Chain A
């Protein structure tokens, strides 16, 4: 096994758009192990932070430092967007796409696609166009498509936002398995129960800054800042 791309370190990262500061300055280390949950009110910068970590968002200031070369870094991570992107192809071809990109043989890619479809309960939909799927089915498909190449680091932007209780439970189980297999996960969610069930670390954002961060247990037991406390109770911060 080649060396890990982690830890990833964000140093004094700032993202500005048309003069407006959307994020930062932020210092954050994503260690080799763990399940980080990014929390915060709407517009606090969760998506911007995760896109910055992933490398999709150019930093206005500061830098992202990886433990490996950029070639490996770009290959070994995956991202599930808040609005899942459905390619105009069948569900099967959506799932196989990342594998085919990297030279997996067609037959093997199709087999893997079918296995993943079974895992997310979309076997029936394999030959349907992905653009016809429901919101929840889209999210499941996007998640499976991100996992199919077994990334070392996985970003999830509210992957359960449109899912019902059972589907959410299924996805959580799947994420737990992946996490135990060693996949490093960074995930934004609004679902407090889900955060408690999954998190090993918490990043709590407020107005584009990291307001509080650390291990999950003490955070949920008693957050250090009144804003995080209020947020956990469901108050407006």
Chain B
């Protein structure tokens, strides 16, 4: 019991003094995850919108693949990315394994389906609402897409935030492809795993608090965005 208490005290101390190691790890976590979210959003948001309004040949197949990918265990994604990037793998020549880039690739694969799927649902609902009006107003396809993306921007933001929430807390895949190397690929989750194993609860808990703080921040933002969205709908 006292061990936990000591750990808590140490954790708070590390946070209030802006401990350089804790600060570094947090910053790297944010760098990797924010980059991954930006890339995954750039792919997932338009893809979701397209799936919602455009009827094309492999639409159903694409949705099925997205749903299947969403169910993929991150560890398996990590394993596949590892095999692809390893020296003998097809992308081995780039030497990306155990770099932040590898971690970003893994996270992008994990959260793109999630972001696309949430965007798909949101835009589909909005399109159902707007359909008759926009057809009646003789809009072009481009105008429809732009209108839906703009009026659905809050929902799309929620999709990206959900992706962020998933990526920042992910440990399995980035542990495998990043290798948890000190000063290079160590991020919040992998550091917590390591420090806990070593019995250094102070740093582990400090990092844990930061992670919880980020998660709460993301969820509050999602909640707030959703509330302004639904405010006064009826």
State the A residues within 8 Å of B (CB): 54, 56, 74-75, 78-79, 81, 85, 87-89, 97-98, 101, 129, 131-132
Contact = CB atoms under 8 A, between A and B. Distances in A.
A97 B138 CA distance: 12
A81 B133 contact: yes
Interface of B: 126, 129-130, 132-133, 135-139, 143, 147, 151-152, 229, 231-233
B137 A98 contact: yes
Given A56-B132, A78-B136, A81-B132, A132 B151 contact: no
7 contacts: A54-B136, A74-B138, A78-B136, A81-B132, A85-B130, A88-B126, A88-B229
Contact of A56 (B135, B143, B152): B135
B232 A101 contact: no
Given A131-B232, A132-B231, A132-B232, A101 B139 contact: yes
Contacts of A81: 132-133
Given A56-B132, A56-B136, A78-B136, A89 B151 contact: yes
Closest 3 CB pairs of A and B: A132-B232, A85-B133, A74-B138
A88 B231 CA distance: 11
B137 A101 contact: yes
B140 to A, nearest CB: 9
A131 B154 CA distance: 15
Contacts of B138: 74-75
A129 B151 CA distance: 12
Nearest to A84: B133
Contacts of B232: 129, 131-132
Contacts of A101: 137, 139, 143
A85 B126 CA distance: 11
A85 B127 CA distance: 11
Nearest to A70: B138
Contacts of B152: 88
Contacts of B143: 101
A68 to B, nearest CB: 14
Given A56-B135, A78-B137, A131-B233, 12 more contacts: A54-B136, A75-B138, A79-B132, A85-B129, A87-B130, A87-B147, A88-B151, A97-B147, A98-B137, A129-B231, A129-B232, A131-B232
A17 to B, nearest CB: 16
